[in-house]
Amino acid sequence: MKVTTQLEYGLCCIVALARLQVGDPASASDIAQSEKLPRQYVEKLLCRLKRSGIVRSVRGAKGGYLLARHPSELTVRDICDALDGGAYKLICEEESMRTKRCIPVSADGRCSLRFVWTELGSVINSYLGTVTVDALLSDGSCHTGKETPYQRPCTAGV
């Protein structure tokens, strides 16, 4: 399980956009260049980010992209949702997994595993939802370097 470069790049682009948050739009080429990323791939990502309303675009010469929302209103989760169709995908929702394993297994009353993956998804999304792009701009200042313990809300006897 790991973050895809897609997410990394996408987030990168957003942060870059947020940095040069001035009046006029930044072109895909500008962003690609400043972040040292492949231009056409950046275009593709921005396109998806646009469809999800994370960025706005201005067409034509002098056009480019702009953040659609204020960085403080934009979380890493939003970006993940836009790009990957969510930061986290449940394994049980894959066709092959459902037909080959989960259905027969849960007919057995057995798929006790699912809840771990579901809950893990919640934990991930929930965390990513707390990180705003704004926070990413103030470089490193929020990076404690220390453990971030998971605090189970209500463990036993639920």
List of residues contacting DNA (CB under 7 A): 2, 4-6, 9, 25-29, 38-41, 43-44, 46-47, 50-51, 57-65, 94, 96
Token pair, residue 53, equals 């309303």
Asked if 50 contacts 43 with a C-beta cutoff of 8 angstroms, the reply is: no
Q: List the one residue out of 51, 57, 69 whose CA is nearest residue 28.
A: 57
Shorter beta-carbon distance to its own copies: residue 58 or 90: 90
What CA–CA distances, in Å, run from 18 to 43, 62, 128, 130?
17, 18, 18, 18
At closest approach, how far in Å is the CB of 62 from its own copies? 26
When binding is defined by CB under 8 A, the residue of 2, 22, 59, 95 that contacts its own copies is: 2
Asked if 18 contacts 34 with a C-beta cutoff of 8 angstroms, the reply is: no
Q: List the one residue out of 158, 68, 156, 77 whose CA is nearest residue 121.
A: 77
Find all residues with CB under 8 Å of 70, minimum gap 6, and list them: 134
From DNA, its own copies, none, which one binds at residue 103 (CB under 5 to 8 Å depending on kind)? none
Token pair, residue 1, equals 């399980």
At closest approach, how far in Å is the CB of 77 from its own copies? 10
Site for its own copies in 20-59 (CB under 8 A): 35-37
Shorter beta-carbon distance to its own copies: residue 58 or 120: 120
- Does residue 126 touch its own copies according to CB under 8 A? yes
Give the footprint of its own copies on this chain (CB under 8 A): 1-5, 7-8, 11-12, 15, 35-37, 76, 84, 87-91, 97, 100-101, 104-105, 109-110, 112-120, 122-124, 126-131, 136-144, 147-155, 158
